[in-house]
Amino acid sequence: MLIEVVNVVILALLAVTALAAVRLNDLFAVTMMFGIYSLLATIMFVVLDAIDVAFTEAAVGVGISTVLMLGTIGLVGRRARKASHRPILPLIVVIITGAALVYGTLDMPRFTDPAAPVHQHLGPYFLNESPDQIGIPNVVTSILASYRGYDTLGELAVIFTAGIGVLGLLGLRRRKRPGHEGGAR
Amino acid sequence: MTIAGLYNYWIVILLMMTGFYVVIASGNLVKKIIGLNLFQASVFILYISLGKIADGHAPILQAGISNYSNPLPHVLILTAIVVGVATTSLGLALVVRIREAYDTVEEDEIHDQDESM
Amino acid sequence: MNDNPVLRIVAKIIIPMILLFALYVQFHGDYGPGGGFQAGVIFAAGFILYGLVFGTEALRSAVPPHILRIFIALGLVLYAGVGVATLLMEADFLAYNALSQDPVAGQHLGIFLVELGVGITVGAVMITVFLGFAGRNDP
């Protein structure tokens, strides 16, 4: 019961934080809101038994993402101009999309239902077979590195490519030649 | 019971739409990327919500416990978070280069400069 | 922030702990929560804290960029190399059972190496990205 209450409260706080982030125009404040949002999401993951995910979100969402966004704001300025056009059209699009998605959830299995289809096939297989086939207690690690090894290799390749991309765009150091103002490299 | 069972999904949709709204309504490129991140984090919460089982435990095997939450969504989201920050950094790097080239990160000002060229 | 003694001293005390904790997360990930992704990010967070407090120039001399670039590739090569090694042992790509006589020991070794590869690449990419942003306005 306690978990349900915590779940409800944290989700409500997430909604408030996200709405506050929409209304603000100071990018520094928006970034701080995003940091709080990530921290609340971390608590959600702990409540929902995803310890490994919470761990990652705490390090990535709260730590590295926030630092990167602050670094960007330091380079581009912290003031966002108010939108000049009326936000009526985006609002309509968002409400229609949201209504369609809410309609879609009506057929979904209820929260924490053990009979949901997602818990019938692969999940129990991994939980039952992992102790004999892999022999390590953390099932998340055994799926990540062994059962879904191809997938993780692909993800690592994406991170590698993104790192190369940032290196190509920003470089590790800007070389300023005298007399070449604005020559980025 | 229906409302309690679907509450998580509805809040996730609200968060998702908030991020979506920021992406399409805001003209500032940094704010757009923060909107994408809001959207992304809401998808994470959706997946982890799907993996939760009533009275479940974290999927680290221990003697005497047999009811574990589904580990598969955890794996998918674990990698997605780190990939997400890598792609976000690439987006932010593009914003920094746009700012250096156009001296602004507002979408319509960039558009005007392109038109006047 | 270079002249703030509180920040400097606190950073000097906690940075070794962050790095040690990252190593714990990396190598204990089979038994408790943790693994290569988390360890890489935490390891990078230690260096990023160093860069924030002591300046990017100090960070650059602590971890030279050309070494970082090697590490970015090294992790991915290690991961894929484990797959190639299992291929050479006439098993499927990334089928760790072939790495040892005992299939479970093979799985342990394979997961250890693969997670190490993930940790190296993730950590190096995060530090590189931070240097890219924070070092952009350096003279």
Q: Which residue has the tokens 């940790």?
A: C119
Residue C62 lies in a domain: yes
What pLDDT is recorded for position B66? 84
Residue C139 lies in a domain: no
**A123 and A76 within one domain:** no
What confidence category does residue A179 fall into, taking pLDDT thresholds of 50, 70 and 90?
very low
Which among B58, B60, B82 has CB closest to C122? B82
Which chain A residues are within 8 Å of C45, Cβ to Cβ? 59, 63-64
**What DSSP line would sit under A108-175, residue for residue?**
SPPTT-TTSGGGTTHHHHHHHHHHHHT--SBHHHHIIIIITHHHHHHHHHHHHHHHHHHHHHH-SS--
Chain A CB within 8 Å of residue C73 CB: yes
Which residue out of A62, A68, A76 would a mutagenesis test of the B interface target, given it has the greatest number of B Cβ atoms within 10 Å? A76
The rounded radius of gyration (Å) of the Cα atoms in chain B is 20
How far away is chain B from the Cα of C5, in angstroms, using its nearest Cα? 31
Digit-coded pLDDT (tens) for C60-110:
999 999 999 999 999 999 999 999 999 998 888 888 888 888 888 999 999
Any chains having at least 3 CB pairs less than 8 A from chain C are A, B
How far away is chain C from the Cα of A13, in angstroms, using its nearest Cα? 26
**A76 and A2 within one domain:** yes
* Cβ separation A156–C65 shorter than 8 A: no
Beta bridge partners of B60: A138
Residue A163 lies in a domain: yes
Q: Tell me which residue range forms the domain holding C48.
A: 5-134
Q: Are A41 and B44 in contact (CB under 8 A)?
A: yes
How far away is chain C from the Cα of A115, in angstroms, using its nearest Cα? 26
**Is the confidence at residue A183, as pLDDT, over 50?**
no
Average pLDDT over residues A49-56: 91
Average pLDDT over residues A103-131: 88
Query: For residues C97 and A133, what is the distance between their CA atoms, to the nearest angstrom?
Result: 9
Digit-coded pLDDT (tens) for B20-67:
999 998 889 999 999 999 999 999 999 999 988 888 888 888 888 888
- End-of-domain residue from the set A32, A64, A80: A80
- Each domain of chain B, given as residue ranges in start order, spans 2-53+68-116
Query: For residues B68 and A164, what is the distance between their CA atoms, to the nearest angstrom?
Result: 39
Which chain C residues are within 8 Å of A76, Cβ to Cβ? none
Lowest mean pLDDT among A168-177, C45-54, C117-126: A168-177
Query: For residues C94 and C84, what is the distance between their CA atoms, to the nearest angstrom?
Result: 8
Query: For residues A106 and B82, what is the distance between their CA atoms, to the nearest angstrom?
Result: 31
Q: Please state the φ and ψ torsions of residue A125, each to the nearest 5 degrees.
A: -60, -50
**A121 and A59 within one domain:** no
Alpha helices in B1-117, H assignment, sequence order: 2-25, 29-51, 71-102, 107-116
In what helix (H) or strand (E) does residue C87 lie, and over which residues does it extend?
Answer: helix C65-88
Our CA dihedral for C50, C55, C56, C60, rounded to 10 degrees, sits at -70
Query: Could you give the number of structural domains in chain C?
Result: 1
What confidence category does residue A185 fall into, taking pLDDT thresholds of 50, 70 and 90?
very low
What confidence category does residue A79 fall into, taking pLDDT thresholds of 50, 70 and 90?
confident
For residue A79 the two structure tokens come to 């003031």
CATH class given for the domain over B2-53+68-116: mainly alpha
**A75 and A2 within one domain:** yes
Q: Tell me which residue range forms the domain holding A26.
A: 1-80
What pLDDT is recorded for position C124? 95
Residue A141 lies in a domain: yes
**A130 and A76 within one domain:** no
What pLDDT is recorded for position A84? 64
How far away is chain C from the Cα of B72, in angstroms, using its nearest Cα? 15
Q: Please state the φ and ψ torsions of residue C83, each to the nearest 5 degrees.
A: -60, -45
Any chains having at least 3 CB pairs less than 8 A from chain B are A, C
* Cβ separation A172–C65 shorter than 8 A: yes
**A70 and A24 within one domain:** yes
Average pLDDT over residues A73-86: 80
Q: Which residue has the tokens 């000097």?
A: C12
